[in-house]
Copies of this chain bind each other. A is one copy, B any other.
């Protein structure tokens, strides 16, 4: 009898494995099909259950759909990311709310003093960035759970996007994400992945 194959060792069914990870691909072109507010809300209603430290949930999401909104973003986007950002049905600005701790008395009610643990603004901003980034990981999975393709982009002027879209000074912009149905020739072939042995090792205490 042969050893069980990887997909069989997981509780998640094979179709879901494919949808979220194995067959899912970062898209560089998109169809014209809109991404609706109801779809975005459904994605959020799924991924909001992903865990964050102190249940702080610092991720904030700004949706850009109109040509006017897009026109404000494009000057800050690197030249290689501009065409796909102009043509995606939805571009999302992902930011961390560095004052997320104000909500902790509601979000972490059994330890209302948690807000005070985060009084230091520098440590709090780092905490906000880290946990919002975890939530971006969940969000990318959630976009795929909706049958859509995600196109994350780090190539942009984060300071410029922050000033343009979050002038309040309480948000740090982390990533842009194009969202839509993948178009034809949406991306290059699957790039190589590291093997388990290159990423994971067991600590030998001896």
Contact = CB atoms under 8 A, between A and B. Distances in A.
A10 B142 CA distance: 9
Contacts of A15: 13
A191 B51 CA distance: 10
Given A10-B43, A19-B11, A51-B150, A106 B200 contact: no
A29 interface: no
B40 A200 contact: yes
Contacts of A10: 42-43, 46, 145-147
Nearest to A44: B196
A183 to B, nearest CB: 17
Contacts of A145: 10-12, 16-17
Contacts of A64: 203
B147 A137 contact: no
Nearest to A190: B49
A68 B202 contact: no
Contact of A57 (B6, B24, B129, B199): B199
Contacts of A115: none
Copies of this chain, tallied across the complex: 2
Contacts of A42: 6-7, 9-10
Contacts of A51: 26, 140, 150, 152
Nearest to A16: B16
A76 interface: no
Contacts of A65: 202
Contacts of A196: 40-41, 44-45, 48
Contacts of A130: 129, 133, 154, 174
A185 interface: no
12 contacts: A10-B147, A11-B147, A12-B146, A16-B145, A41-B196, A48-B196, A50-B141, A53-B152, A108-B191, A127-B154, A130-B174, A141-B141
Nearest 5 Cβ contacts at the A-B interface:
A137-B137, A11-B147, A68-B205, A9-B42, A12-B145
